[in-house]
Amino acid sequence: MTLDDLMFKPGLMKGQRILVTGGGTGLGKEMAEGLMMLGADVYICGRRGGVLEEAAKAMMDAHPASAGGGQVTPIACDIRVPEAIHEMMDTIWADGALTGLINNAAGNFISRTEDLSTRGFDAIANIVFRGSFFVTLEAGKRWLAEKRKGSVVSILTTWVWSGGPFTVPSAMSKAGLNVMTQSLAAEWGNRGVRFNAIAPGPFPTEGAWARLSPGQSATAESRPQTGSPLGRVGEMRELANLAVYLLHPLSEYVNGQTIAIDGGGWNAGSRGFSALADWGDAEWAAARQSIQGANASDRAKRTV
């Protein structure tokens, strides 16, 4: 990304301090880069310490402080563990309070719902639903106690409106975060802590494609069945610009909103993975094997 990809003036986010969960890869990394390019100090967390270090270095090498870039600090943290979140926030707050949070970390995979074990459900819900809530609570309590403003942006999907066949634990968890956004916008808005959400359509990433389109590489041509009238997938810079807008103090009056960025796919009738109803046992077995291969390969890189 270069400054020409952003619709904002250089230095716009100077003084902003933002945590992006899952900021070492995919959408989180791109939003983190957009924010730091505009001068924000950004913290990125995830379970693979090496992936985070590499991402932070790449961003800071590409956009050094001399070019207006902010600091990117990687913190290995598993958001399924409330004590680990508390420790991460202590580390961040030791440098200064956050001004914003992006709840982006997630886990997901396609599966027939009848094939899910309780552990399979928990594997997703404990990251998306429970983990994102505890990160939000940990930051929120500090903002309220210190009488500071805060802006929270949660990354959802359009499945919060349409339902998500074959991705039910994710759809249920994201729907919970959608209601968290609406509820806390009303409950904490009077104290300066606001909540919004972004519901992206398909943006090709390795993490999502390995688990939602197993066997296909994450390119603009190979996409899940979430087609948009624009005939294309999303561009990361489009998402980064929206995230910057929602985190900047000048969008303060926007509170409690979930904004789709899907080229109109949801309005045009896109409904997630319904087409997988055609799959039989053999297809599901192959998908599961491929997904579990990706899970194992990522798990081997975890440092927390």
- What residues make contact with ligand NAP under the rule CB under 6 A? 21-22, 24-28, 45-48, 51, 77-80, 104-108, 127, 131, 155, 157, 200, 202-203, 205, 207-208, 298
CA gap 22, 39 in Å, rounded: 20
Looking at residue 13, its amino acid is: M
Nearer to ligand HXC, 108 or 136 (CB): 108
Helix 118-125 to helix 168-188 angle (10° resolution) is: 40
Smallest gap from Cβ 269 to ligand HXC, in A, equals: 15
CA distances from 10 to 6, 34, 40, 60, 254 (A): 9, 11, 11, 15, 23
For residue 202, the one-letter residue type is P
Task: Give the residue with the Cβ less far from ligand HXC, 65 or 230.
Answer: 230
Minimum distance from CB of 10 to ligand NAP (Å)?
Answer: 26
Which residues make up the interface to ligand HXC (CB under 6 A)? 106-109, 111, 115-117, 119-120, 123-124, 157, 170, 202, 207-208, 211-212, 224, 226, 288, 291-292, 295, 298-299
Nearer to ligand HXC, 41 or 298 (CB): 298
Min dist. Cβ of residue 218 to ligand NAP (A): 8
Cβ at position 140, least distance to ligand NAP in Å: 18
Residue 78's binding partner out of ligand NAP, ligand HXC, none, with CB under 5 to 8 Å set by partner kind? ligand NAP
What is the spatial distance between Cα 164 and Cα 161, in angstroms, rounded to a whole number?
9
Q: Which is nearer to ligand HXC, 65 or 285 (CB)?
A: 285
The CA-based angle 19-24-27, given to 5 degrees, is 85
Which does residue 164 bind out of ligand NAP, ligand HXC, none, counting CB within 5 to 8 angstroms by kind? Answer: none
117 binds, among ligand HXC, ligand NAP, none (CB under 5 to 8 A by kind): ligand HXC
Residues 6+ apart with CB under 8 A from 210: 218, 290, 291, 294
To the nearest 10°, report the CA torsion of 138, 139, 142, 147: -150
- The residue assigned the tokens 């939000």 is 136
User: What are 171's two structure tokens?
Assistant: 């759809």
Q: How far is the CB of 78 from ligand NAP (least distance, A)?
A: 5
Q: Which does 288 bind (CB under 5 to 8 A by kind): ligand NAP, ligand HXC, none?
A: ligand HXC
Residues 116/157/203/57 CA torsion (nearest 10 deg): -90
Question: If you search the block for the tokens 């975890």, which residue do you land on?
Answer: 302
Query: How do strand 41-46 and strand 72-76 relate by DSSP bridges?
Result: parallel
Q: Would you say 257 or 292 has its CB closer to ligand HXC?
A: 292
Beta carbon of residue 257, minimum distance to ligand HXC (angstroms, whole number): 20
Local structure of 102: helix, strand or coil: strand
Q: How far is the CB of 213 from ligand HXC (least distance, A)?
A: 9
Report the residue number, 149 or 302, with the smaller CB distance to ligand NAP.
Answer: 302
